[in-house]
Structures are given as structure tokens and as C-alpha cells.
Structure 1
């Protein structure tokens, strides 16, 4: 059908079960006035009639149309400028939903002569009168707003729930995440879990608050390092200047066989003391195959209710000692710490 001199005015392709037509099917038919596509299975206008300046009637009745897309609507509006153009959409199950709202609005403003059913349908099959069309549009818009509000509410609710879950997981595994982060920043990025005690740089890392500095620098070094031949890591002496303190702490714990925490009430109040304690816990779990590396030294009498839950678990495992008030107990005190360091 591409003869430029064609005088064809009427085409009847009705009752052929056609599901799709090619875009250029009607090319070269300038005199076409009537196209009958009645009783087929068309769902979309895939053919071009924009150049058919004489076209007056397009019969799309009894097909499978639920709406018209934007291209079809623009094309039909263009045809009306040249002729008194009519489109027959009767006996199609046209929808009046949020998705077809542009089509409904077009019906209300187009000058194209439209032949429609009395009703359009929701997706569940409920029918609504097409007329008055503006009333129908308002009704559909109202439903769409409610649907949009519901979608937004559900989306916000889902986002809130996901946020709570993520925050809960982050909080639950906060120390593991921090441990992994600082370990990755240190020189031990590719470190594997060690089972060889001879690989450690230090026998023990001493974790303490500044108020107990004298006890560490005087008593611990004298009894454990000078007399006990243990190599200690003490932050005021052994941390690398200029390096982040968190990385220094992580490295010190990682390079030490044990972590000895000097516990007083001030220890619980110190951010870095608790950071060291929790980093040692993570080292214990994730890099030492679950072997306990923490030993607690209590310089004060502290009630269980004053201690963190994780610390109470260590006490239950007898991984602690209390500072004695007598000279005889002092000897046993230091011997037990030496034993804990080398165990």
C-alpha cells in the first residue's frame, strides 16, 4: 500500500484477529477517509496515520484497548486540524485508573470526536460512568491521591523499620565494626588468626587510666618486666608518636599475647580505657580463635552492679585478681599476673 497515486478511500481490516499493525502500513494513502479495524485484538496504536490528511473515521471498536498512549493522542489531535476526525473506541474495556488518568484528561479537552462506552472500569472490574468526564477525573484523582499517600506512608514506614533494624545491627556489632575498621587502618590488614604464642611482640599490653599511671610505671614495670622478664606494652612509653591513638591501641592489643586491664572506677569513666577493653574483647573473639586474652586487675573494691556485663562474664571465668592489702598477698598477686600473662 505504498503507491503515491493511490485513490484508495476505504480500508476494511475488521474481524481478522489482528494483534499488531506495522508503523508504515498506511503509508502512501493520502486519500484514505475511512479505516475499519473493528473486531480485532489490538491493544495499542502501533500504526502511523499522521500523514493521512483526508482521514475522517478510524474504527477501533471491539478491540482490546484499555487506554491510548501519548503518541496516539498527539497524532489524533493533529489529524483533527485537517478534518472533522472521529475515533470509535466503543466496546473496548477502557480503564479509569491512575495509569490512564492522562487519557481521561485528554478525553475532556480534545476536539477529536470520540465514540465511547457509557462506562470505564477499574482494574477489579467495577464500572464508572464516563460522563460527566470531569467528575470522573476528580474521582480518579482522589483515589490516586489516597493510593499515593498509602504508598508514601508504607515506603516511609518500611524505610523507618529498615533504619531501625540497621541501627540495631550496627549497635549490636558496633565493637566488631570498630575493631575491623581500626585493624584495617593498621599494618595488620591482612592478618590471619594466630595460634603461635611466639609471634607476639609483647607479652602483655597494660590498659589503665591516667590516675593509675604511677602503679603501672612503678609497680607493674618493676615486678613484671624488670623482675619477671615480661615484655610489656605501656602506652606512655611504647606507642608510636604521631600515629592515631586508636590505631596505636589496636596495634598494641594485636601485638600482645595478653591485655591486662588495671580496673578502678576511673577506668569505667575513661573513654579510651573502655575502648581498649572492648577492642581486646574483639581481638579475643575474631583474631584469637575465642581464646581469652584479657586479665583484670582490681585495685579497688567494686560492686558487680557498677561493672559492665561483659566484664562480669570475665570475672565468672576467674580471669581476674584483686590487689591485696598485705605484703604476703602482694607476692601471690604478682605471681598470678605473671602466670596469667604467660598462660
Structure 2
């Protein structure tokens, strides 16, 4: 405990006997009162007896110890303090703390000097540990965010109240109030497959009464990640038309990751990958490498009529398996 009584009114005080108590520290107010009493009179000493107390030798009490040292005999101050013991309270797990005897000012000086060095090394260590823990915490958080970055993006854009349409933004919930999906198929393709998609594949799908969303429907200037995520979320199936340009495309990377997240959310695969040319089978986007073998179909670009007919039937069957089972 500390001695915190107000004594500033005791202007005639010459001896203050606080010996044989359980005083561990002296409050700033008490110290200020002692100095104020001494300074208010001429050449009259004031002696405060702190012998046989449990004054704490710790970093928290270092300022008090330095103050006591300044007023320990021999001193030029009219305020004289006496203490005989100092108790170390660091790392005390049980029993009484370790104490040292203070027989002279030299003994107290030694203890204060030791604590000054100890506390100086202790504080930077604590600061270093806090900085290290903060650094490790940020690394862990960063690793978690990086690991789930696509899932975070997916839920961010899906949870956003605004969706796109070819004519601008509309509410996805409003447009789908009585219908879970706005589109049957979302087509993902690159520029080198654009002519095939728009002139052959999309018309063929629309002939079979599929509602198709193609990336050419996206208005210029709309945020790509937002639009792709919402179009995939609003479609029963996603058809990737793989061509040479697919491997280096940012649009492909976003679409592949968001389709994977949507598949995980629905608990089933919703994608079909069509190889538009044979060279596109090399270096697949990483998420498409996770697709089952029967999720891929090869377009016979130079095939016969029979091969094209067989392709159309196979494509329709695989697509129907995804679309009809999507609730």
C-alpha cells in the first residue's frame, strides 16, 4: 500500500514517524506536501522515518526510490528521509518478496542504479515483444485474407444491393423476386473466341430457349469484378469457352475463381469448359483444373457434319445436367 494522507496543512511538522508499517510506495501528492512544508519555512528540517517498511524496489516505484535517494543523508536538502529495507517484487510467485538492507545512501544508490539499468532494458524488451506480436498478428491476418480473398470478394459483391443489367444497375433481388436465376447460361470467353460465341454458340443456345448472358452485354465502364460475380451468381450454369487468350486474361481469372466460389455455395459444379481449339488445353486457369473430366467438351472446329451434330447433342446433354438440377 502507499501513504496518501494529506499533510500540507502541518506547517510546523519536523518529524514524521512512519516506521514499522506496510508502506510500499509514496504518492506524488504526499511527496509534494513534504516538499511544500519545507519550502514554506526557513532552515527548519523535516525528517520522515520510513524504516522497517516494505518499500518496493521495482520499475513501477523507481521514481519514488530516486526521490528518496535525493533526500537521504548526506544531503543538502532540508527534507531528510530514512529507510532501512527495500523489497524486490519482480517475479514473486509465492511467499514474501526478497528484501535487501539499506544501511547507507551508497546502498540505496546501488539499488537505484541497478533498477535504472534493469528497467531501461525491460521496457524496450516489452516494446519489442509488442511490436513482434503485432507484426506476427498482421502476417497471420494477411495470410488468412490472402487464402480466402476470392471468397471474401465473392460475398462482398454478391451481398452488395446493386447488380448490373445491360442498361445499367438494377436490384438483383427485385428482378429475381419470383425467379431464383435471371439467366440460364453465362458465357465466359476471350476476344479470339468472340466471333464463334456471338455468331454460332449463343444463337444455337437461344434456339433451345436458353436465356444467355454474354460478356458483350456488359456496358463499358462498369466494375468488372462486380459484374462478373453478379452475372455468375444470377446464372444456372457457366460455360467457359477456352481459347489461346484465356490463360493470360484477368477476366478469366476472376470468372474462374468466382465460379468456383459459387459452386461451393450451391454444393455442386455449375461450370462446363468447352475447348474451342486444341492448343487451349495447355495451361488451364487453376480453378478449371479442379473440374471433373466429364465437365470438359472439345469443339470440333474443323469437324464434319456428323461430328458437329454429335458435339451439339453432347453439349446439350452436359448443359442440361447442370441447368435442370440447379434449383
The alignment's TM-score, normalised by the length of structure 1, stands at 0.77
Deviation per residue, 1:72-101 (Å, 9 max, x gap): 111111122234111111111212211011
CA RMSD of aligned residues (A): 2.6
How many positions carry a matched residue from both structures? 293
Q: Which residue number corresponds to residue 315 of structure 1?
A: 292
**What does residue 257 of structure 2 align with?**
278
Q: Deviations over 1:274-315 (max 9, x none)?
A: 1011111112222x2x12211111223369873344322213
Q: Secondary structure of the equivalent of 1:306?
A: coil
Partner of 2:209: 229
1:139-288 equivalent positions in 2, closer than 5 A: 139-187=114-162, 199-225=180-206, 227-236=207-216, 238-286=217-265, 288=266
Q: TM-score, normalised by structure 2?
A: 0.80
Counterpart Cα distance in 1 of 2:28 and 2:230: 65
Q: Which one of the candidate residues 292, 301, 313 is aligned to 2:269?
A: 292
**Shift in alpha-carbon separation, 1:304–1:224, aligned structure 2, 3 A:** closer
Per the alignment, residue 54 of structure 1 pairs with 12
Structure 2, gaps ≥5 residues long: 72-76, 164-170, 322-327
CA–CA distance in 2 between the matches of 1:129 and 1:269?
77
**How far apart are residue 54 of structure 1 and its match?**
0.7
Question: What SS class does the counterpart of residue 238 from structure 2 fall into?
Answer: strand
**Which of the numbers 23, 29, 37 marks the counterpart of 1:79?**
37
**Contact 2:52–2:85 at 8 Å: present in 1 too?**
no
Shift of 1:186: 4.5
Alignment CA distance shift 1:181-1:313 (3 Å): same
Q: Distance in 1 between matches of 2:186 and 2:290?
A: 20
Contact 1:203 1:342 in 2 (8 A): no
Is residue 87–residue 99 contact of structure 2 (8 Å, CA) maintained in 1? Answer: yes
- Aligned mates of 1:186, 1:268 — CA distance in 2: 32
